[in-house]
Chain A
Amino acid sequence: MENISFSVFLRIIQQLLTIKYQEINMLAVRDVQKSYGNKTVLKGISFTAPKGQIISLLGNNGSGKTTTFRCIMGLSDCDKGSIRYNGRPIERKRFGYLPEERSLFYDVPVFTQLKLLGQLKGADSEEASLTADYWITRMKIEEYRNQIPLRMSKGNQQKVQLIICLMGKPDILILDEPWTGLDQNNIGIFRDVLTELKTKNKIILLSSHQYQPVQEICDRYLYLKNGELVINETKAHLLEMPQRIVEIEHDGRFIYQGKEAVRTTVHGRIVKLWVSNDETAWAVMEKTRNDSSVISARKRKLTINDLIEVSK
C-alpha cells in the first residue's frame, strides 16, 4: 500500500516537473475561456509560444484574437485557464503591446511619450532616451522626433506605436494588426525589425488579415474560428507536408474530371486542386498540358491560406 502511494506521489512530482520544464522559455496558454455576458468569446484555447519565434494568430473579425491578447496581458481576466511565462504568472512589464487602435497621446511629442512609457516600464531616464532615439532612427522617423502624433501620417503613427511597444526591452511582444495603414516599404521595415527581434529571443505574437507578410516571417500559425483554435501549425511542418496545390488558370471552359485531387476549389477562372503529393501534382499538370482551355498550370506547396480555406 505504501509503495503504491509512494509511486503515485512520485508520478505526480514527475508530471509537475515535466510541466514546469516544458514551460521554461516559453509562453504557455492553457485552456483559456472568456465570456462577455452570455457570449463565449474564447472556448478553451491552448497553445505555447517558445522564445525566438513569431506566432501569428489569425481569424476573422470577432473570432477572439484581440480578446486572447488582452487575456494574455492581463488587461482582461480570463474566466478559466492559465497563462504562464517560464512556468510562472506573467508580469505585465514583460510585455510590449501594439494595440489595434492607435493608442497615443496625440498632443505629446513623440520622444517625450516614448521616454515616459520606457520609464514606466522600469528604464531609467537615460536608458529610455537612448532606446527611444535608437528606434526612432531605426524606424526612419528622425524628423518627427519632436513632432506631435496629431501632425503625423497614419503610417508614421504606427511606427511610433511599434517603438512604444519596444520600449523597456520586453520579452513578449503582442502586435494586434501591426501592418494596418502601412505601405509596402514600411511593411518591409516592420518585417525586418520583427525578424531582428526574433533573433534576440523575443516571443512575438501577432494578428493580421494580411497573410503575405505573416507567411513570410511567422514560425507558427494559429487560426481562431468562433473562439476555438482550429489550426495550430508550424511553418516548418507546413513546408514538410507532402500535399501540393495545383493552380490551373483557364479560359472558362475547363472542367476538372480527374480523381487525383482530394479537394477542389474554384476562384473565378482559377481552379485549385489539392493533391496528395508532388508526383500526383506533376501528373495532373501533365494531363492539363493538352487541354486547349488551360492558360497556365503551376504547382506549389501548401500555405497557411490553404489550411484556413479548408477549415472554413
Chain B
Amino acid sequence: MKNLITFYLKRRFFSRLTLILGLVVFRACGFITHADRLSETETKQTVYLDESCSFLAEQLISRSNIYRDTKNDTDNNCVLCYEDGWILTGKQITEELIRQVENDVRAVESEIYLRKADLVEKEFIERYKKSFTVSVKNNKKTDVSTLVVSAVFYLILTYSNLISNEIIYEKSTHMLDMIICCAGERAHFFGKIITAYLSLLIQGTWIVSCRFFWLVIRFSEDHFRGLLELAEGYVDTQNIRLNGESILLLGLLLIVSLLFIQIVMMMVTCMFRDSEEAATFQNVYYVILIALYYLFVIRGGPIEGSTAIELILSYVPLVTMIFMPVRVLTGQAGSLDVIMSIVITTGVLAVMVELILPQYKKLLLRK
C-alpha cells in the first residue's frame, strides 16, 4: 500500500502543471494579502448627496471627488442625508469612509458658519457638537457564516470527486485490473483515501506557507492595518463567537466529513462503467450542490436563529460540515455539539466501511 500511495502522490505532485499551479497559488496569496490596495484603486466608493443636504452639496463636491449630487444608480453606493443629524446609508461602508465624510462635513459646515456675520460662538459650538457625527444605516456586510459556507462548499466541490475521478481514469485505461491484481482491493481502497488526505495536507501546507510568507511581508509593511480596515468594511464579525477549541473541533469535523463524502462518492463512482456515466452523475451532483449553496446564500444563512430542520441537519453526516460550523460561529452550538457530530459521523463512517468493503471489489470490477 505504501508503494501505491507514493505512486499516487508522485502522479499528483510531480508534474509541470502542479508546479505552475503552485506558483499561481503563491501569487494569489500575495494578491489576497494586499487586497486592500487592489480595492483602493479599483473600487473607490461614491457618496451620493440627498436633497436634504443640498445646502452644502456644492462645497462637498468641490472638496472631494467622492461626492455626487445625483441619485441615479445608487444601488451599490452610499447616500448621505440630513435628518436631525448626518446619516450615511449604504452597503459595505468602511470606517475610513465614515471618517472622511465626518471630516468633510465638519470642515464645510465650519466654513459656512464662520462666513456668517451674526454667528454666536456658543451656538456654533452647540451645532458643531450635534451635527458632525455621521451615523450609519443599512450598512450590509457579508456575514462570516456565508463566508464559511462558501469555503466548505468549495472544499466539497474540490475534494469529493478527487478519488472518484481517479478511479474512473483507472477503469477507462483498464489499469484497475492490474492494480487490484497486484495490490488487492483493500490496499486500493485505503490507498486512495490516504492519498486524498495526504494531498489535502500537502496542498494545505503549501497554501498556509504561502499565506504565512505574505503575511510576514505585510506585517513588516503596515502591521496588517490596511487589511483589518478592509475586513472591517466588508465582513461582519460582530456575531462571531469562536475560540481555539472550536476551531480545532471544526477542523476535525471538516476532515471526518470530507472523508465521509469521499467514501460515498467513491462507492457511487465504482458502479459506473466509464467516464461518460460518471460525468452524467457528477453533473447532477454539482447542480444539486450549487442549488443548495444558492439556497443557503439567498436565505442569508441561519444567522438569525436555527430552525428545527437546521438543528437536525447539523448532526446528519453528509451535511453536518455545512450547518454545524455556522451554528458554532453564531454561538448556537458549543464544543459538545461538534464532538457529538464528529462521533455520529465517525460511527456512521465505520459502519459504512464495514458494509461497503466486501462489496467494493465487486462494484469496482463490474463490467
Report the separation of the CA atoms of residues A102 and B365 in the bound assembly, to the nearest whole angstrom: 16
Taking a contact as CB atoms under 8 Å apart, the answer to whether A97 and B3 are in contact is: no
Known: A76-B365, A77-B362, A108-B11. Is A120-B183 also a contact (CB below 8 A)?
yes
Collect the chain A residues with CB atoms within 8 Å of residue B178's CB: 97, 99, 103, 117, 164
Cβ-neighbour of B174 out of A70, A101, A108, A116 (below 8 A): A101
Q: Mark B339-367, 1 if CB is under 8 A from A, else 0.
A: 00000000000000000000000100100
Among residues of A, the one whose C-beta sits closest to the C-beta of B3 is A119
B residues with a Cβ closer than 8 A to A are 3-4, 7, 11, 173-175, 177-184, 187, 362, 365
**Measured between C-beta atoms, what is the minimum distance from A67 to chain B in Å?**
9
A residues with a Cβ closer than 8 A to B are 70, 73, 75-77, 92-93, 95, 97, 99, 101-106, 108, 116-117, 119-121, 164, 168
Taking a contact as CB atoms under 8 Å apart, the answer to whether A95 and B181 are in contact is: yes
Taking a contact as CB atoms under 8 Å apart, the answer to whether B177 and A99 are in contact is: yes
Known: A75-B365, A116-B3. Is A105-B173 also a contact (CB below 8 A)?
yes
Collect the chain B residues with CB atoms within 8 Å of residue A116's CB: 3-4, 7
Report the separation of the CA atoms of residues A95 and B179 in the bound assembly, to the nearest whole angstrom: 12
Taking a contact as CB atoms under 8 Å apart, the answer to whether B182 and A93 are in contact is: yes
Report the separation of the CA atoms of residues A102 and B173 in the bound assembly, to the nearest whole angstrom: 7
**Measured between C-beta atoms, what is the minimum distance from A177 to chain B in Å?**
13
Among residues of B, the one whose C-beta sits closest to the C-beta of A128 is B3
Taking a contact as CB atoms under 8 Å apart, the answer to whether A73 and B181 are in contact is: yes
Collect the chain A residues with CB atoms within 8 Å of residue B3's CB: 116, 119-120
Cβ-neighbour of B182 out of A105, A108, A120 (below 8 A): A120
Taking a contact as CB atoms under 8 Å apart, the answer to whether A168 and B174 are in contact is: no
Report the separation of the CA atoms of residues A99 and B180 in the bound assembly, to the nearest whole angstrom: 13
Tell me whether chain B's interface is mostly helix, strand or loop, or mixed: helix
Taking a contact as CB atoms under 8 Å apart, the answer to whether B175 and A104 are in contact is: yes
A-B pairs with CB below 8 Å: how many?
Answer: 50
**Measured between C-beta atoms, what is the minimum distance from A176 to chain B in Å?**
10
Taking a contact as CB atoms under 8 Å apart, the answer to whether B4 and A103 are in contact is: no
Known: A77-B362, A95-B181, A97-B181. Is A120-B175 also a contact (CB below 8 A)?
no
Taking a contact as CB atoms under 8 Å apart, the answer to whether B181 and A75 are in contact is: yes
Tell me whether chain A's interface is mostly helix, strand or loop, or mixed: loop
Report the separation of the CA atoms of residues A116 and B183 in the bound assembly, to the nearest whole angstrom: 11
Taking a contact as CB atoms under 8 Å apart, the answer to whether A92 and B175 are in contact is: no
Cβ-neighbour of A121 out of B7, B175, B182 (below 8 A): B182
**Measured between C-beta atoms, what is the minimum distance from A233 to chain B in Å?**
29
Cβ-neighbour of A103 out of B11, B177, B183, B187 (below 8 A): B177
User: Which 10 pairs show the lowest CB-CB distances between chains A and B?
Assistant: A120-B182, A103-B174, A119-B3, A120-B183, A101-B174, A116-B7, A97-B181, A103-B178, A121-B182, A103-B175
Report the separation of the CA atoms of residues A94 and B4 in the bound assembly, to the nearest whole angstrom: 18
Among residues of A, the one whose C-beta sits closest to the C-beta of B365 is A75
Among residues of B, the one whose C-beta sits closest to the C-beta of A77 is B362
Report the separation of the CA atoms of residues A102 and B175 in the bound assembly, to the nearest whole angstrom: 8
> Would you mind naming 8 contact pairs between A and B with Cβ atoms under 8 Å apart?
A77-B362, A99-B174, A103-B177, A104-B175, A105-B11, A105-B173, A117-B182, A121-B182
Among residues of A, the one whose C-beta sits closest to the C-beta of B362 is A77
Collect the chain B residues with CB atoms within 8 Å of residue A108's CB: 11
**Measured between C-beta atoms, what is the minimum distance from A15 to chain B in Å?**
33
Taking a contact as CB atoms under 8 Å apart, the answer to whether B173 and A75 are in contact is: no
Cβ-neighbour of A120 out of B173, B177, B179 (below 8 A): B179
Cβ-neighbour of A75 out of B180, B183, B187 (below 8 A): B180
Report the separation of the CA atoms of residues A77 and B180 in the bound assembly, to the nearest whole angstrom: 14
Report the separation of the CA atoms of residues A73 and B11 in the bound assembly, to the nearest whole angstrom: 27
Taking a contact as CB atoms under 8 Å apart, the answer to whether A97 and B179 are in contact is: no
Collect the chain B residues with CB atoms within 8 Å of residue A119's CB: 3
**Measured between C-beta atoms, what is the minimum distance from A40 to chain B in Å?**
16
Report the separation of the CA atoms of residues A77 and B187 in the bound assembly, to the nearest whole angstrom: 19
Taking a contact as CB atoms under 8 Å apart, the answer to whether B184 and A92 are in contact is: yes
Interface centre among B3, B7, B177, B362 (most CB of A within 10 A): B3
Report the separation of the CA atoms of residues A168 and B4 in the bound assembly, to the nearest whole angstrom: 15
Collect the chain B residues with CB atoms within 8 Å of residue A76's CB: 365
**Measured between C-beta atoms, what is the minimum distance from A120 to chain B in Å?**
4
Collect the chain B residues with CB atoms within 8 Å of residue A92's CB: 180-182, 184
Report the separation of the CA atoms of residues A164 and B179 in the bound assembly, to the nearest whole angstrom: 11
Report the separation of the CA atoms of residues A95 and B178 in the bound assembly, to the nearest whole angstrom: 10
**Measured between C-beta atoms, what is the minimum distance from B91 to chain A in Å?**
49
Report the separation of the CA atoms of residues A77 and B358 in the bound assembly, to the nearest whole angstrom: 12
Collect the chain A residues with CB atoms within 8 Å of residue B179's CB: 120
Taking a contact as CB atoms under 8 Å apart, the answer to whether B11 and A97 are in contact is: no
Among residues of A, the one whose C-beta sits closest to the C-beta of B188 is A120
**Measured between C-beta atoms, what is the minimum distance from B38 to chain A in Å?**
38
Report the separation of the CA atoms of residues A76 and B363 in the bound assembly, to the nearest whole angstrom: 10
Taking a contact as CB atoms under 8 Å apart, the answer to whether A168 and B365 are in contact is: no
Taking a contact as CB atoms under 8 Å apart, the answer to whether A106 and B173 are in contact is: yes
Collect the chain A residues with CB atoms within 8 Å of residue B181's CB: 73, 75, 92, 95, 97
Report the separation of the CA atoms of residues A103 and B173 in the bound assembly, to the nearest whole angstrom: 6
Among residues of A, the one whose C-beta sits closest to the C-beta of B179 is A120
**Measured between C-beta atoms, what is the minimum distance from B360 to chain A in Å?**
13
Collect the chain B residues with CB atoms within 8 Å of residue A106's CB: 173
Taking a contact as CB atoms under 8 Å apart, the answer to whether A120 and B4 are in contact is: yes
